[in-house]
Amino acid sequence: MLRTEAVVDLAAIRANVATLRAGTAADVMAIVKADGYGHGLVQSARAALAGGATWLGTATIDEALALRAAGLTEPVLAWLWTPGEQAAVQRAVADGIDVSVSSGWQLDAVRAAATATGRTARVHLKIDTGLSRNGSYVTDWPELVAAAAKAQAAGEVQAYGVWSHFAYADQPGHPTIARQIAAFGDALEVAERAGVRPAVRHLANSAATLSLPQAHFDLVRPGIAVYGLSPMPGAGDGPLVPAMTLRAALASVKRVAAGEGVSYAHAYTTTRESTLALVPLGYADGVPRHASDVGPVSINGARFTVSGRVCMDQFVVDVGDHPVAPGDAALLFGPGRDGEPTAHDWAEAIGTIHYEIVTRVGARVPRVYVGEV
Ligand SMILES: *Cc1c(COP(=O)(O)O)cnc(C)c1O
């Protein structure tokens, strides 16, 4: 094996999307932002399409352009962009990328891009139904849809989608869920009255795709579930298969005496004669420094924790008397099938979510793809 590797099982991504698709009458937009949640943008996108996704979703326009540059021609929506990105908006319109519009200045930017490229730009109008993140505030919505209808009549844009995003979809039954669905319905009515009849209405992230059929509308937008991680804390991964395994070859193994301070500031001290194994992954590779003394690691079939501080490039594991040799694999997380920790275990250990664990795996860690079609 390589010194370090994030093994990405494309067959798992494909199967996860097929599972999600089987559970809904809606079309599936696989979210591949943030380098496919760390799994690789283009590879993840191709695997998701093979599993039955017909749309791709990215946060930034640059991510969407990278999909086009790789030859992917499917519908792509990009939703997070700023006033300084006019050139990117123009490229997006030229490349047939759908862009999200949450406000008047964004509509104007897209109209300008349409004029400059001589193309009708496809937009998805975003309504803030209660997350208070991106999206038009409800009181600004009538003006936005009226302006969009006008731009549509002028042939500048096509208001192809209307969409929103949940605050609490991972807590089924939370009172904000019904309120957001109702607010979405109201926003659709306001749009309709202004003459905006979107081809696609979409609201559901992974959690809503798995637990809220009444929120599926025409299109669902699963992200984390595509990669096999359950959006519902504690609910397990169900039929989903975690796609990423993060592992490294041991770079050093040595027998040391009791009482040796280990790693920076000697946050850990051996209590008896013991074997120290060196794992060549550190916080520069996305192993959280907060995992010092608590991050779980599996080596040769046994579970240990990080011993002492996680450093920039490496950390130490006290494996006691367990037989280990340089080059043996240290598994940080994987599907959990062979008793190795999962990304969820890492998230629990350091007080975060598994989204962050997989997404932060650094660029220095090569992605190794298996299960290709
Ligand atoms: C990231 C994101 C998603 C996917 O969310 P998951 O919880 O990973 O399924 C969907 N829609 C929007 C707007 C997002 O930002």
- Cβ of 228 closer than 6 Å to ligand 1, yes or no, is no
Residue to substitute in 20, 31, 353, 359 for testing ligand 1 pocket (most ligand atoms within 8 angstroms of CB): 31
- Cβ of 102 closer than 6 Å to ligand 1, yes or no, is no
- Cβ of 231 closer than 6 Å to ligand 1, yes or no, is yes
- Cβ of 223 closer than 6 Å to ligand 1, yes or no, is yes
The type of residue at 331 is: L
pLDDT per position as a tens digit, 69-127: 999 999 999 999 999 999 999 999 999 999 999 999 999 999 999 999 999 999 999 99
Both tokens of 276, joined, read 């120290």
Please tell me the residue having the least CA distance from ligand 1 atom 4: 223
How many residues in total does the chain contain? Answer: 373
By annotation, the residues acting in catalysis are 33, 264
Question: How much is the pLDDT for 56?
Answer: 99
- Cβ of 344 closer than 6 Å to ligand 1, yes or no, is no
Q: How far is the CA of 315 from the centre of ligand 1 (A)?
A: 32
Q: How far is the CA of 224 from the centre of ligand 1 (A)?
A: 8
What ligand 1 atom has the least distance to the C-alpha of 224? 8
- Which residues fall within 8 angstroms of residue 136, CB to CB, at 6 or more apart? 102, 103, 125, 126, 127, 128, 144
Q: Note whether 152 and 161 are within 8 A (CB).
A: no
Mean pLDDT split into 10-residue runs, the chain, 373 residues: 97 98 98 98 98 98 98 98 98 98 98 98 98 98 98 98 97 96 98 98 98 97 98 73 98 98 98 98 98 97 98 98 98 96 97 97 98 84
- Cβ of 215 closer than 6 Å to ligand 1, yes or no, is no
The angle subtended at Cα 273 by Cα 268 and Cα 278, nearest 5°, is 55
Report the C-alpha gap between 322 and 302 in whole angstroms. Answer: 8
Both tokens of 55, joined, read 């749309």
Question: How much is the pLDDT for 335?
Answer: 96
Report the C-alpha gap between 141 and 270 in whole angstroms. Answer: 62
Is 364 known to sit in a ligand binding site? Answer: no
Is 68 known to sit in a ligand binding site? Answer: no
Q: What letter would DSSP give residue 334?
A: -
Residue to substitute in 203, 221, 227, 359 for testing ligand 1 pocket (most ligand atoms within 8 angstroms of CB): 221
Q: How far is the CA of 202 from the centre of ligand 1 (A)?
A: 11
Instruction: Write down the pTM of the prediction.
Output: 0.97
Both tokens of 196, joined, read 């905006």
- DSSP characters over 356-371: HHHHT--TTS-EEEES
Residue spans of beta strands (DSSP E) within the chain:
4-9, 27-31, 55-58, 76-78, 98-101, 121-126, 157-163, 200-204, 219-220, 244-249, 252-256, 261-262, 268-269, 274-279, 296-299, 302-305, 315-320, 329-333, 367-370
